[in-house]
Each structure stands twice: as structure tokens, then as C-alpha cells.
Amino acid sequence: MPTLSLSFIGGVLAALLNLQGAPPPAPACYLLTTEDIASIIGTTRPLIITNTGAGSTCIFQNGDRTVTVLMVTLGSAEAAKRQWDAKKRVTAGQDAAGWPTPAYVGTIDTAEEHVAIVGVYSSLTFVEARASDRTQKTADLSTTLQTAMKAYSARLASQK
């Protein structure tokens, strides 16, 4: 009776698992471009934190510098607006005028933390990005994050 090698069995199992396909990528990891992320905290790769049918969370980390992107797809436009309003209150965000979609901007500026937060929503989608970098001035960090998120806001608005 022939024996099967472990490498053959492993190859067959890998092929069978591959037939099912890899899980879909987490949308939050691709909302901002590689160039956007690099302009905020330098070159890095995404780390998927959550990925469900209703949304995803992704963190980009370069040393102590991070960008976290949260994306949620809600069941109604009213629910997306409520999510946006709630997160805006939590971050003490202020409305950003002149954006393609409703947007808020918030910051945390302490001796220990320099954080910028931007949230947008359109139709059923709510997205919030949070950048943290103690080496940058909070105002500069906020400006760079706003530039990236305003470009995303335009892409989101065009999907309507």
C-alpha cells in the first residue's frame, strides 16, 4: 500500500482551502491611499482589526505613529447620520464646511497625545479616521489627515 507524504497531504489541503477563496479585503484598509497614509505617518502596511459584512477597522502603524480607519455600513441613511452625530459628540468634533459629504474634525492635544480625527458619512456609509503622532504638531497632523479624508469624501460622494 503506498504511503502519502505529509507535504503531499499539506498541498492537497492547501488547494482545497484555496478553492473557498481568501476572505474579502477589509474596506477600511483601502479607503485612504498608500500615499495618503505615507503623508500622515510614513510608509506602513495595513493591519486588519475587524472585517464583517457591516464594516471593518484597519490600523496602519509606523513606530509610535498610527492611523486607524473605521468604516461602517448601516441599514439606513438615518442610522448613518446618527452614528456620525454620536461619534462627532464623542470626539468633540466641529463641522467641516465645504466638503463633498458631511464631515467633522476633532483633535486631542496634550503633552502625551497629538491626535487628529475626521469623520464623514454619505448614504449608508460612516467612516472615521484617527491619526496619532507625538512627533508632529496636532494642527499639522490634522491638516494632513483632513486633506486625505477630503479626497476620500469626494470619492464617497461620487458613489451615490
Domain count of the fold of the chain: 1
Question: Up-side HSE of residue 22: CA atoms within 13 Å toward CB?
Answer: 3
Task: Pick out the chain residues at pLDDT < 50.
Answer: 1-2, 4-23
Spatial separation of the C-alpha atoms in residues 57 and 79, rounded to whole Å:
19
Q: Is residue 52 a contact partner of residue 70, using CB atoms and an 8 Å limit?
A: no
Q: Is residue 48 part of a domain?
A: yes
Q: Which of 28, 82, 36 is nearest to 54 (CA)?
A: 28
Q: Is residue 13 part of a domain?
A: no
Q: Is residue 6 part of a domain?
A: no
Q: Is residue 14 part of a domain?
A: no
User: pLDDT (tens digit, 9 = 90+) per residue, 52-99?
Assistant: 889 999 999 999 999 999 999 999 999 999 999 999 999 999 999 999
What is the pLDDT at residue 53? 83
Q: Is residue 3 part of a domain?
A: no
Q: Which domain does 82 fall in, by range?
A: 25-158
CA distances from 37 to 58, 147, 151 (A): 12, 11, 13
138: domain CATH number is 3.40.1000
Q: Is residue 19 part of a domain?
A: no
